[in-house]
Chain A
Amino acid sequence: MGDDASMRRFIGRDLVLGECPARACVELRGDPDDASFVRAVRTVTDLPLPLDPGRSAAGLLASILWLGPDRWLVCSDTQAGSDLAASLRAALAAIACAVVDVGAARIVYAVGGSNARAVLAKGCSLDLHERKFPLGHCAQTLLAKAPVLVHLSGAEPTFEIHVARSLRDYAWAWLRAAASEYAAEADDA
């Protein structure tokens, strides 16, 4: 298979790396000052549109991550990408905005455990201290030489790293190399 369906996984000392199942992702563009836009998004997602940089909103149907002052990423584990895009498009039909399906464009890796921050700090210049990068925070940045979206989705902590599909192998090889010092003793790196 070209797109290897087997999920990648690595378990080390206080560290888990893994590839997340594909999820629906839509890039949403629009004017946050337009109340009808914000309302329509809420109707579909049952979430308030996060307006502050680096914030996200998470609910049962979807989560919304801030990407820019007029850019958001809407993700859902429970809906198909085309359905999510279609329902947003329908709700936003009369509003100047853009709804673009980007679910196939990305791979999401999860980096979890108390060594997760150290692994990411090897390639990421963000300050990931829990006060500076609290739960739910997201940021677009570079991880080593790959542009990524980092999202602290779980308190354990668990970071989700969104990376372009074409960089799937590079990002995994980098994460594995960065994690090797936390390999369980019996494990061969």
Chain B
Amino acid sequence: MSQPKRTDAGGRIDRLRVLRFQFDGRRYQGYCGDTLASALLANDVHLTARSFKYHRPRGILALGAEEPNALVQLEQGAYTEPNVRATQIELYDGLIAHSQNRWPALGFDLGALNDTFSPLLPAGFYYKTFMWPASMWLRYEKAIRRMAGLGRAPCLPDPDRYDRMHAHCDVLVVGAGPAGLSAALSAARSGARVILADEQTEAGGQLLWERYDIDGHPAMAWVASVMAELAAAPEVRILARTLVSGYYDHNFVVACQRFDSPRSSAHAPRQRLWKIRAREVVLATGAVERALVFPDNDRPGIMLAGAVRGYLNRFGVTAGSRVVIATVGDDGYRTALDLASAGVAIAAVLDLRVRAAGFLPQQARARGIEVLTGQRIVATGGRMRVSAVRVQPFAGGTIREIACDLVAMSGGWIPTVHLFSQARGRLRFDARAGAFVPGEAMQPVRCAGSVQAAWLLHEALAQGFAAGGAAAQACGLEPARALELPQVSEPEATAADVALAHRGERASRRKQFVDFQADVTLADVGLAAREGYDAIEHLKRYTTAGMGVDQGKMGNANVVALLADARGEAAGTIGMSTFRPPYQPVSFSAIAGMDAGELFDPVRRTPMHEWHRRHGAVFEDAGQWKRACYYPRAGETLHASVQRECLAVRRGVGMLDASTLGKIDIQGPDAAEFLERIYCNPVRSLAPGRCRYGLMLKQDGMVFDDGVIARLAETHFLLTTTTGGAARVAAWLEEWLQTEWPMLKTYCTPVTEQYAQVAVSGPHSVELLAPLCSVDIRAMPFMSVRTGYVAGIGARIFRLSFAGGLGYEIAVPADRGYELWTTLMGAGERFDIAPYGTEAMHVLRAEKGFIIVGQETDGTVSPIDLGLDRLVRSDKFFIGQRSLARPDARRADRRQLVGLLTENPHEVLAEGTQLVAAPCTLARVAAEPVPMLGYVTSSYFSPSCGRSIALALVEAGVARIGQTLHAPLATRCVKVTLTAPRFVGDSDEVLHG
């Protein structure tokens, strides 16, 4: 298969390595070193896409990241990736790509009817057309989404690997063009740790395709020598194929690196996200060419002039055989001269300026190229490819038609200031360049080269050297010795007149595109301005200009210029819409990196986890912890299992893995005083060896956490916290100790992970444990702690129970937890011991009216509201005391904790069910709102009570005990009676005592 548009020689491609690929089902060949775009052009394929809104045929326009048209769906199935710019896809053997947004085919697309009916789709048409009736929007939206489509997201899990890498450096250089290379070189020679990132496979930037000599040799020889020096420097890291997409605070820069083609290796990542922290940054991000605005300026075969030159010189591809060049500066002549040298016919150079007298225009004329000055394109012809242009002098006069198959347009250059702007840098309008350039920097960042509108090569090199050296110096390094600027020979260029680029033909009824990707035309900008959307940020949203996935890299400059014209103001005075990360879309896979599947979030497992798993436990998530929720036997439902587990605890003995409870060791001479201030209950009076239930409040008097305070010795305490509160409470204690009471000699050490803890609950617990314990547990009073051995393992034995009734908790070092658990299970066999999970624990504690922080409380519930005010000491200082002293804290109509009994004992209300005064249904409430008096916080079927029980927070609840309220459900209403929040009583066990 031939590549009809490939030159015989030249370009940075390897003609010995032929690569096969498919586009829209047709087979083609390209060479190693090609991009998908260059390979398509080599095969004379221009038509690559349909436009977003009007489905107009579109071709490849640009050379790199700024490409607005040629977005393709790369690969298929699980490997597919939508909206990838063909200009940035490095060709590999077997590549498969498809065009997007067309049906049934690229050449015949029914969506193109949008173009015919486009008068119905003016700027802001979404807002104007589909507002009424509002209920129809959901249907319109589906149809619009289908029509205005981009690529399709993959529906299968991504089989490739992705990861991220943190990196640190003194100087990060973004862009490996002439300015970036010289910056990296001068920084590296100063001894700086340098990272040089560039999106291309090869370094060189514009030198990859521009024909310059440096120090008397082709520029790429200079690039090769610089790269060799950088590669040899131990502190320099070169990141090729790495696109810097985000510049965040404190010089945090994110870049995405592509590796080989998908499926290339089972082990290596496909993409890597770099998170770079740089002390200094040098942005050498270059510039992109500006398009010209003229009627039907979007036909395939109309390209940027620099891109045409780039495809020729870098890839050996002539994008056309008869070319019209339209330009507002000398730059277009370079394309004309390079094409002419390659033997391509130049139909004419159309210079929109009145005078074209510089060195390059003279050269063109000398080669016999026809140069038309003071003229512009007023119309183009051709269906799937441009076939002719009509040109006319600005002054009026004859319209001449010129046949061609390629139009190369050059509207001047737009500095790529996105990253500088993301770094909060201010932009400044450079009137000479007719573009926004970096102004005042807000972070340690410097710019060099064409991003600063330094168009000439020697300027770019000089700025790069200076910026790299200054950056290294700012890091405290000595400037490099003997840095000589390379010598460059380049023709002088006269200034481009960029104001000519966006003028267009006001009178033309044809579409003149300013934002190709978002399908925004000159007329749209004018209409939006007339309708009052004449601030740049309003215009952007109203017309969608700049809101495509390319974020208007190419189009924004013309949009801003047109808006300034419409407002009758000078270009540059109306500002620029804000650039936000990412510069270019980054795939979700790259962002997720390794944090997917089992690594999505850490899973914390207790030492006994494996036992629970083997014994059929169903787990629930408690924060990051996996906790055994219940242990169903064969055929058992959740309900049946929980009922069985509850009865085992109430009548026999059960065992719970309580290892996830937060545990904090507190030591020091002032430990008691410290805890006295932390808890609302008294602590100092607690005797060594005894435990007490404790409540911690926030300063606003609301419950923060609860747990057991165990006094192990005079100056040694152990606190337990809720499972979810462990980290929060430890941080809270440190905060008070460090910031308010540093004089208190107290040390807090989180020891949650050190201990496995087992709750042994039920009337038989003492018979089970006593023979295994080295201390006489029968003699232990309720709420006490002893140190000894259980089954030969050093342990702390607590006599307390969150389930209520007789119970013990045993804590052993975590590495012995599994052994303890299995030993106790074995010893418990003769008592028919049952492991019980968190669900049964919840039922058991609710029967006793014990609260769970976060279930009965939500940060607005005080101990008084919970009926626990008897715990609160008023004769000491503690956190929250002052707030509880407010009259409001004792307001009678606050929501208070009560018990609920449903009229039907088998009715278990859903937690969260709301309570109202009079019977009604939710359907009625929707029509006629009624005051909500409270809601259900916990609700279970209690096997001990033989009926449902619930806890609730109810306005003035205590005063309503004995009364009935109503719980409206969807179609019916449940009558409930308020009771005290305690359903199973014992005389001896009062945990809260």
A adjacent to B, CB under 8 Å: yes
Please, which residues of chain A bring their CB within 8 A of the CB of B749? 27, 29, 98, 100, 102
Count of chain B residues near A, Cβ 8 A: 51
Partner of A164, one of B164, B609, B610, B753: B753
Are B609 and A180 closer than 8 Å at their CB atoms? no
Does residue B495 face the partner (Cβ distance < 8 Å to A)? no
Are B817 and A183 closer than 8 Å at their CB atoms? no
Are B611 and A2 closer than 8 Å at their CB atoms? yes
Task: A145 to B602: give the CA distance in the assembly, Å.
Answer: 7
Task: A189 to B265: give the CA distance in the assembly, Å.
Answer: 11
Closest B residue to A188 by CB, please name it: B266
Does residue A173 face the partner (Cβ distance < 8 Å to B)? yes
A interface footprint on B583-596 (CB within 8 Å = 1, 0 otherwise): 00000000001110
Closest B residue to A100 by CB, please name it: B749
Task: A108 to B428: give the CA distance in the assembly, Å.
Answer: 54
Are A98 and B166 closer than 8 Å at their CB atoms? no
Please, which residues of chain B bring their CB within 8 A of the CB of A96? 668-669, 745
Please, which residues of chain A bring their CB within 8 A of the CB of B321? none
**Using a CB-CB cutoff of 8 Å, which residues 125-178 of chain A contact chain B?**
125-127, 129, 132, 144-146, 164-170, 173-174, 177-178
Does residue A104 face the partner (Cβ distance < 8 Å to B)? yes
Are B267 and A181 closer than 8 Å at their CB atoms? yes
Task: A57 to B784: give the CA distance in the assembly, Å.
Answer: 40
Does residue B575 face the partner (Cβ distance < 8 Å to A)? no
Does residue B193 face the partner (Cβ distance < 8 Å to A)? yes
Please, which residues of chain A bring their CB within 8 A of the CB of B601? 145
**Using a CB-CB cutoff of 8 Å, which residues 99-130 of chain A contact chain B?**
100-106, 118, 121-127, 129
Q: How far apart are A84's CB and chain B's nearest CB, in angstroms? A: 13
Please, which residues of chain A bring their CB within 8 A of the CB of B607? 2-3, 165
Q: How far apart are A68's CB and chain B's nearest CB, in angstroms? A: 10
Does residue B161 face the partner (Cβ distance < 8 Å to A)? yes
Does residue B275 face the partner (Cβ distance < 8 Å to A)? yes
Please, which residues of chain A bring their CB within 8 A of the CB of B754? 100-105
Q: How far apart are B723's CB and chain A's nearest CB, in angstroms? A: 11
Does residue A97 face the partner (Cβ distance < 8 Å to B)? yes
Closest A residue to B252 by CB, please name it: A125
Are A22 and B815 closer than 8 Å at their CB atoms? yes
Question: Which of A81, A105, A174, A188 is packed against the most chain B CB atoms within 10 Å?
Answer: A105
Are A167 and B611 closer than 8 Å at their CB atoms? no
**Using a CB-CB cutoff of 8 Å, which residues 111-166 of chain B contact chain A?**
161, 163-166
Q: How far apart are A173's CB and chain B's nearest CB, in angstroms? A: 6
Task: A167 to B668: give the CA distance in the assembly, Å.
Answer: 30
Are B165 and A29 closer than 8 Å at their CB atoms? no
Closest A residue to B812 by CB, please name it: A104
Does residue B228 face the partner (Cβ distance < 8 Å to A)? no
Q: How far apart are A175's CB and chain B's nearest CB, in angstroms? A: 10
Are A29 and B753 closer than 8 Å at their CB atoms? no
Task: A116 to B595: give the CA distance in the assembly, Å.
Answer: 20
Task: A81 to B815: give the CA distance in the assembly, Å.
Answer: 12
Partner of B603, one of A82, A170, A181: A170
Are B814 and A104 closer than 8 Å at their CB atoms? yes
Partner of B604, one of A81, A121, A164, A173: A164
Partner of A29, one of B164, B193, B667: B667
Please, which residues of chain B bring their CB within 8 A of the CB of A123? 166, 594
Contact of A167 with B604 at beta-carbon distance under 8 Å, contacts A2-B611, A29-B747, A181-B267 already known: yes
The tally of CB-CB contacts under 8 A between chains A and B is: 134
Q: How far apart are A172's CB and chain B's nearest CB, in angstroms? A: 11
Please, which residues of chain B bring their CB within 8 A of the CB of A129? 168, 193
Are B594 and A144 closer than 8 Å at their CB atoms? yes
Partner of B609, one of A2, A118, A121: A2
Task: A118 to B237: give the CA distance in the assembly, Å.
Answer: 13
Closest A residue to B734 by CB, please name it: A68
Q: How far apart are A185's CB and chain B's nearest CB, in angstroms? A: 9
Task: A173 to B594: give the CA distance in the assembly, Å.
Answer: 10
Does residue A1 face the partner (Cβ distance < 8 Å to B)? yes
Task: A122 to B257: give the CA distance in the assembly, Å.
Answer: 14
Does residue B606 face the partner (Cβ distance < 8 Å to A)? yes
Are A170 and B818 closer than 8 Å at their CB atoms? no
Are B608 and A2 closer than 8 Å at their CB atoms? yes
Are A82 and B794 closer than 8 Å at their CB atoms? yes
Q: How far apart are A24's CB and chain B's nearest CB, in angstroms? A: 11
Please, which residues of chain B bring their CB within 8 A of the CB of A97? 667-668, 747
Question: Which of A2, A70, A100 is packed against the most chain B CB atoms within 10 Å?
Answer: A2
Task: A54 to B387: give the CA distance in the assembly, Å.
Answer: 71
Task: A70 to B598: give the CA distance in the assembly, Å.
Answer: 37
Are A177 and B747 closer than 8 Å at their CB atoms? no
Task: A44 to B669: give the CA distance in the assembly, Å.
Answer: 23
Are B753 and A98 closer than 8 Å at their CB atoms? no
Q: How far apart are B751's CB and chain A's nearest CB, in angstroms? A: 6
Please, which residues of chain B bring their CB within 8 A of the CB of A118? 165
Task: A106 to B751: give the CA distance in the assembly, Å.
Answer: 10
Task: A132 to B165: give the CA distance in the assembly, Å.
Answer: 17
Please, which residues of chain B bring their CB within 8 A of the CB of A106? 753
**Using a CB-CB cutoff of 8 Å, which residues 869-905 of chain B contact chain A?**
none
Are A181 and B599 closer than 8 Å at their CB atoms? no
Task: A111 to B166: give the CA distance in the assembly, Å.
Answer: 17
Are B669 and A2 closer than 8 Å at their CB atoms? no
Closest A residue to B193 by CB, please name it: A129
Does residue B625 face the partner (Cβ distance < 8 Å to A)? yes
Q: How far apart are A12's CB and chain B's nearest CB, in angstroms? A: 9
Task: A169 to B751: give the CA distance in the assembly, Å.
Answer: 19
Please, which residues of chain A bring their CB within 8 A of the CB of B625? 166
Are A144 and B599 closer than 8 Å at their CB atoms? yes
Does residue B478 face the partner (Cβ distance < 8 Å to A)? no
Contact of A177 with B599 at beta-carbon distance under 8 Å, contacts A165-B753, A166-B606 already known: yes
Partner of A124, one of B166, B193, B609: B166
15 more CB-based (< 8 A) A-B contacts, given A1-B610, A29-B667: A2-B821, A3-B817, A70-B747, A96-B668, A102-B753, A103-B815, A121-B166, A121-B167, A122-B164, A122-B594, A132-B168, A167-B604, A174-B594, A174-B599, A181-B269
Q: What 5 A-B pairs have minimum CB-CB distances, sorted nearest first?
A: A2-B818, A105-B753, A166-B604, A98-B747, A29-B747
Question: Could you show 6 A-B contacts with beta carbons less than 8 Å apart?
Answer: A22-B815, A100-B667, A100-B749, A105-B753, A170-B599, A170-B602
B interface list, Cβ under 8 A from A:
161, 163-168, 193, 266-269, 275, 277, 593-595, 598-599, 601-611, 625, 665, 667-669, 745, 747, 749, 751-755, 794, 813-818, 821
